[in-house]
Each structure stands twice: as C-alpha cells, then as structure tokens.
Amino acid sequence: MKIGVLGGDGYCGWATALYLSAKGHSVAIVDNFARRQWDHELGVQTLTPVRPLAERLRKWNEVSGKNIELFVGDVCDYDFLAGFVKSFEPESVIHFAEQRAAPYSMIDRKHAVFTQVNNVVGTLNLLFALRELQPDCHLVKLGTMGEYGTPNIDIEEGYITVEHNGRKDVLPFPKQPGSFYHLSKVHDSHNMMFACKIWKLRATDLNQGVVYGTMTDEVALDEVLINRFDYDEVFGTVLNRFCVQAAVGHPLTVYGKGGQTRGFLDIRDTVRCVELACLNPAAPGECRVYNQFTEQFSVLELAELVKAAGKKMGLHVDIEHMPTPRVEAEQHYYNAKHSKLIDLGLQPHLLSDSLLDSLMNVAVKYRDQIDSSLFLPQVDWRKPTNERRTTLSAAAEAIFVAGR
Ligand code: NAD
Ligand code: USQ
C-alpha cells in the first residue's frame, strides 16, 4: 500500500514508518520537526541519541535497500498538506502529528491554546484535504484511551448502547478527559465522526494507551536508527520514567496513591496495530474506534515491577509517593474493552517479557546521559501560570498567534 505517516519523525511515527517500509509498503513521512523544537523550548532531551531525520532515512536506505519519501512541513498549513496528498496519493494516512503531552498542554494558557489549535486544525485540514483530493483514502488517526477518563463503568470501544426512557440507541461513549491535550483528541474524534457521516470518508480512530519501550526489529538494526526514549516530566511517559529513575538510583516518582490505572502497550504492538488497521480499512462513511492497548496496570503496580526488575540487575530501587501535580482519580474502577485489534490478529508482547530487554537495559546503557533534574514534576494542573515557561518555540508561537 501507499501509506503516509504524518509525524514520522516522532516516537510512534518513526517506528511505524520503518516497520511498514520493511513490510514492503511504499511509505512517505510528513513532519515539521516541531517536537524537536519543543524539547529545546523545555530544555529536555531524549535519553537515546536521536539523529537528524535525513541521516536516519539515509541509514534506513543503506541497511534495508528501501526508500522512504520525506515531506517537511506543517499539517496546519493547508496548502502544504494538500500538496502532499496530491503528489503522494496515499491509500492510507496515519496521523500521529500532534502535540501529545498532557503536561505540556497544562503549562499555561498559551500552551493549552497552541495544543488545541495544532491538533484540531491539523486533523481538520487533513479531513478537508482527503475529501477534496483523495476521498477513498483510509484515515488512521491516533486517539487516546484518556479520552474516556476513568468512568465507574466498563469502557467500550468507542460506542455504547444506551436505553433511555424506553428507547435504545448506539451512541459515542461518554468522554471525560483529564487535560487540554486529551480534550484535543476528543474534539478530533467528533470532527472525524462528522466528516465520515457527511462526506462518506473512511476512518479508524485508534484510542491508544500509554506506549513503552524503544526497540523494534528495524530500529535495532543500527544505532543511527534509534528511537526516542523520553523521560522528562513533560514528555516522558510513566514506565519509561520509572526505568530511567531506577537506572540512576532515583526513587520512582509515584504521583499520589498510585492507584491510577491505564492501558499500556509495547511500541512493537503499536506498529502492528497500525498495520492491521491499514490492511483492514473502514468502509466509506464509517468512523470506527479501536481501543489500542494490551494490558492494564496501576502506576503503583508498574513501580513494583520496575523495582523487582531492578533488583534482578543489582539495582537498589525505592518507591516514593509524592503529591500528584495532576487532577485525577488516584483510586478508581477501570475495565476497558480491547478485543477488536486482537480479533484482527494482534499477538501482544507482554510487559513481563520485555521489561528488562526493551526498557531497563536501554536505560542502563545510556545511564550517563540521564539528567536527574528532569524527574520532578513542575507543571501543576491547579496552577497553570508558570512565568518561567510562558515562552513558546517560534513555530508554536506562529500557530498560537494564528489560532488565538
Ligand atoms: P511525538 O511527539 O514523539 O511525535 C509527534 C510527531 O509529530 C513529532 O515528530 C512532531 O514533530 C510531529 N508534529 C507535531 N505537530 C505537527 C504539525 N503541526 N505538523 C507536522 N508535524 C507535526 O509523539 P508520539 O509519542 O509519537 O505520539 C504520536 C501520536 O500518538 C500522537 O497523536 C499521540 O497523541 C498518540 N499517542 C501517543 C502515546 C504515547 O504513549 N506516546 C499514547 C497514546 C497516543
Ligand atoms: N505518573 C506518575 N508518575 C510519573 C509520571 C506519571 O505517577 O512520574 C502517572 C500520571 O499521574 C498518570 C499516569 O502515570 O496517572 C500516566 O501518565 P503518563 O505521563 O505516562 O501518560 P499520559 O499523561 O496519560 O499521556 C501519555 C502520552 C499521551 C497518550 C496517553 C495515553 O503522553 O500522548 O495519549 O499516554 S492514555 O494515558 O491512555 O490517555
């Protein structure tokens, strides 16, 4: 297939682009390198030595003999995006190109506005470009499990049958997201459902859980291909952070009681899920939703697992409960359905099999690069204005100004 990977310089996008290319699909990456600028803005760096995209693509060509096309630009720039769709003519577009950190969206007003403009406008532009130029193309869009929040009932895959006053209907599952970032995904979901209904576009919304790990078969071929491993308080996801903290003997930063339960998946399952969605496209007019995760854990369970894995490696690991900077339930019911991708053939990698190889070993290997000052949370959901952080990167500022 001809597959466009929007956000292909990022964590999920890079692993996915290489995996699909290795499988023989014809792949093009679209990215404006915004994420690299946000790292500079915050003064943070991924643990692993991520190379410039052009260098990564040259190395991929050298080791695999395959070519990935590159379109550098902003999906919020309609002319650029339409130019990509017109020239590449994708059969599937995978849309990863958003600002994806909940803490980044909660820094202050500017970062909240920027996150929602970047994410919602990018997706709207894509919907319009597909309608105008490539209406049969299947949109595979990354949503998030966090759109649902933590309701006191089972979470379905996108839709729920409701009986009310003697009548029955299938309706979108209620959304109760926990950050302005997660809210941007809810807005995207609504825009996609509406566009599929009125224009008969075809779309799959992949409500992904928290991704962990850095190694995939393709990334492991050469260090120049290495993927991101974020561990700072803004972009670092919880399991990656705990492994890096364990590697340098820093107590694991469990927010509050640690009963926050989420769905998790290995990056190797992210790439496979996306491929399964592409190979089994939605029908015209259909906006289907898959919950994309393989196992659920509480934050405290993860901390205990990392502590035990650390012990096997001779590391002494402590767990520290600290006041949560977020507004979220610290103990709650959580049971989210996730069978649709399994039904399509996903064979999950389990955390118990990959914790040491794919995570702890990488954290220990790059231990010298770890900056412990990035561990403690500074972004506080209850106090959004932090003067130190009110400067946006130049690219973000331009989008903020355009969208305010
Ligand atoms: P990432 O920040 O590593 O990658 C995102 C990429 O998109 C970056 O390379 C960035 O430069 C690019 N980008 C952002 N805005 C853009 C724009 N306007 N134009 C062009 N390029 C743009 O993020 P990730 O972890 O790879 O996440 C990818 C997607 O998956 C996001 O939509 C995220 O919400 C979703 N997701 C991620 C996780 C996770 O744990 N990482 C979990 C669930 C869902
Ligand atoms: N947490 C800690 N200690 C830490 C870091 C986080 O206890 O040091 C807790 C958080 O309070 C939260 C949970 O761990 O309860 C998960 O936090 P996270 O930062 O790993 O994940 P989150 O903010 O939810 O966002 C990440 C990705 C986002 C994606 C989302 C999937 O950054 O792009 O959408 O995971 S989900 O959580 O299913 O919505």
- The pLDDT value recorded for residue 400 is 55
Specify the ligand 2 atom closest to the Cα of 100.
Answer: 33
Q: Where are the domains of the chain?
A: 2-403
- The pLDDT value recorded for residue 353 is 87
DSSP-H helix ranges across 11-64: 11-22, 34-42, 53-64
Per-residue pLDDT of the chain (404 residues; tens, 9 = 90+): 999 999 999 999 999 999 999 999 999 999 999 999 999 999 999 999 999 999 999 999 999 999 999 999 999 999 999 999 999 999 999 999 999 999 999 999 999 999 999 999 999 999 999 999 999 999 999 999 999 999 999 999 999 999 999 999 999 999 999 999 999 999 999 999 999 999 999 999 999 999 999 999 999 999 999 999 999 999 999 999 999 999 999 999 999 999 999 999 999 999 999 999 999 999 999 999 999 999 999 999 999 999 999 999 999 999 999 999 999 999 999 999 999 999 999 999 999 988 877 799 999 999 999 999 999 999 999 998 754 555 566 666 665 555 44
Task: Write the CB contacts of 355 (distance below 8 Å, at least 6 apart in sequence).
Answer: 243, 305, 306, 309
Specify the ligand 2 atom closest to the Cα of 241.
Answer: 8
Residue 382's alpha-carbon distances to 20, 103, 324, 329, 379, in angstroms, are: 42, 12, 10, 14, 9
Distance 361 CA to ligand 2 centre (A): 22
Distance 15 CA to ligand 1 centre (A): 12
Mutate to test the pocket of ligand 2, among 95, 235, 237, 372 (most ligand atoms within 8 A of CB): 237
> What pTM was computed for the model?
0.96
Question: Measured between alpha carbons, how far is 326 from 99 in angstroms, rounded to an integer?
Answer: 18
- The pLDDT value recorded for residue 134 is 98
Task: Write the CB contacts of 361 (distance below 8 Å, at least 6 apart in sequence).
Answer: none
Specify the ligand 2 atom closest to the Cα of 209.
Answer: 38
Write the residue with the smallest CA distance to atom 8 of ligand 1.
10
Specify the ligand 1 atom closest to the Cα of 208.
Answer: 43
Distance 387 CA to ligand 2 centre (A): 24
- Around Cβ 385, how many Cβ atoms within 10 Å? 11
Residue matched to tokens 């012990």: 311
Mutate to test the pocket of ligand 1, among 9, 11, 42, 147 (most ligand atoms within 8 A of CB): 11
- The pLDDT value recorded for residue 85 is 98
- 16-52 in b/e form (b: 16+ CB < 10 A) is bbbbbbbbebbbbbbbbebbbebbebbebbbbbebee
For residue 380, the one-letter residue type is D
Residue matched to tokens 């990456």: 29
Distance 210 CA to ligand 2 centre (A): 7
- The pLDDT value recorded for residue 396 is 62
Distance 282 CA to ligand 1 centre (A): 23
Question: Measured between alpha carbons, how far is 287 from 355 in angstroms, rounded to an integer?
Answer: 34
What's the CATH number of domain 2-403, 3.40.50.300, 1.10.357.10, 3.40.50.720, 3.80.30.20?
3.40.50.720
Ligand 1 binding pocket, CB closer than 6 Å: 7, 9-13, 31-35, 74-76, 96-100, 118, 122, 142, 144, 208, 210-211, 228, 237
| Active site (catalytic) residues | 144, 181, 185
Mutate to test the pocket of ligand 1, among 14, 31, 241, 289 (most ligand atoms within 8 A of CB): 31
Give the closest ligand to the alpha carbon of residue 240: 2
Ligand 2 binding pocket, CB closer than 6 Å: 100-102, 144-146, 182, 209-210, 237-238, 241, 253-255, 260, 262-263, 299, 324, 326, 328
Question: Measured between alpha carbons, how far is 98 from 81 in angstroms, rounded to an integer?
Answer: 14
For CA atoms 252, 258, 260, 261, give the dihedral sign: positive
- The pLDDT value recorded for residue 404 is 41
- The pLDDT value recorded for residue 392 is 64
Write the residue with the smallest CA distance to atom 13 of ligand 2.
238
Distance 104 CA to ligand 1 centre (A): 13
- The pLDDT value recorded for residue 403 is 46
